[in-house]
Amino acid sequence: MRLDGPGSSNFEDRTGQGGGSILGGGGGILGLLVPLILSRFGIVGLLILALGYCALGGLGGGGILGGGGGSPTVQQGDRNAKSTLPAQTQNFLTGVLGSTERVWTQIFTAAGQQYKPTTLVAYTGGTQTACGAGRAAYGPFYCPGDQNVYIDPSFFNELTQKFGAPGDFAQAYVIAHEVGHHVQNLEGTLDRASRAQRAAGEAQGNAIQVGVELQADCYAGVWAKNARNPDGTPVLEQGDLEEGLTAAAAIGDDKLQSQAGQSVRPESFTHGSSQQRVEALRRGYSTGNPASCNYNRV
């Protein structure tokens, strides 16, 4: 990738503020699921929750992971603590975010609408969000309550080392996917999906979730296709798309279930199969048109 455009100012660095220990509060369904999944399946199982699983109000927020008993809180560390985020990583995060802002602003403007950017929050270990307690183990996620994207940058190491998906565009795809959830939030898709899920059975609710996630993958491809540097050259270079497709394949539900030693059960999918995720990212990139990303079922 070649990112020459200005980085976004919609960035908050919470790294170095402490590990964000979880305190009380019942925890909701997610608070019960995370220890169970960790104990049985390890980080591979947790990836089923990652990459925007809370986009429909999770982290105790009332979507398909919501539950009674309230949400846990995070005990924040010293807000004045020195950042632990390397300058190169911050430049990458803000550079990708700035590029998504320019692309989605153009798309929204062409449709006669105004794009309101999301804020990207980098943290270490855990942090408080409007959706409840955010933890690194959840992977990157989007919170509709505060319209922020959250990421512990150490996830990029997991993506490379445990999921065999290295490369700068693989990382950018993760960010663009979460920005895709923000676009869905602005469009009203997440609200419609959440309402539809509450009226649906488990299998149908999972299918709705899959549609939302595939659309976010497709939106990531739309950004990648349209991303340009100030001199007009594409942000993506030779081999970059393949990095993203490798990442998409690595986090398909069927792949994760197989790696966890489980039988593959399509009715339990929440993000889509490897083939579906690859196809969604490729579709968005091949068309460059968000109208082609008609995966949601609401």
DSSP three-state, residue 261: coil
DSSP conformational letter for 147:
T
* Phi, psi for 32 (deg, rounded to 5): -85, -35
CB atoms within 10 A of CB 2: 14
Tokens matching residue 231: 């001199």
Q: Would you state the pLDDT for residue 138? A: 83
Question: DSSP assignment, residue 5?
Answer: S
**CA 77 – CA 198 distance, rounded (Å):** 36
Phi and psi dihedrals of 96, rounded to 5?
A: -65, -45
Q: How far apart are CA 170 and CA 172, in angstroms?
A: 6
Give the least confident one: 78-82, 134-138, 267-271, 284-288: 78-82
For residue 21, is pLDDT > 60? no
Provide the mean pLDDT of the chain: 83
pLDDT of residue 56: 52
Q: Is the pLDDT of residue 35 over 60?
A: no
Cut 0.95: pTM above it: no
8 A C-beta contact, residue 133 and residue 30: no
Using CA of residue 136, residue 141, residue 142, residue 145, what is the dihedral sign? negative
Domain ranges of the chain: 11-292
pLDDT band at 136 (very low <50, low <70, confident <90, very high): confident
3-state secondary structure of 196: helix
pLDDT at 287 over 50: yes
What is d(CA 293, CA 218) in angstroms, rounded to the nearest whole number?
6
pLDDT in tens, 140-191: 999 999 999 999 999 999 999 989 999 999 999 999 999 999 999 999 999 9
Going by C-alpha positions, the residue among 93, 140, 89, 97 that lies closest to residue 118 is: 97
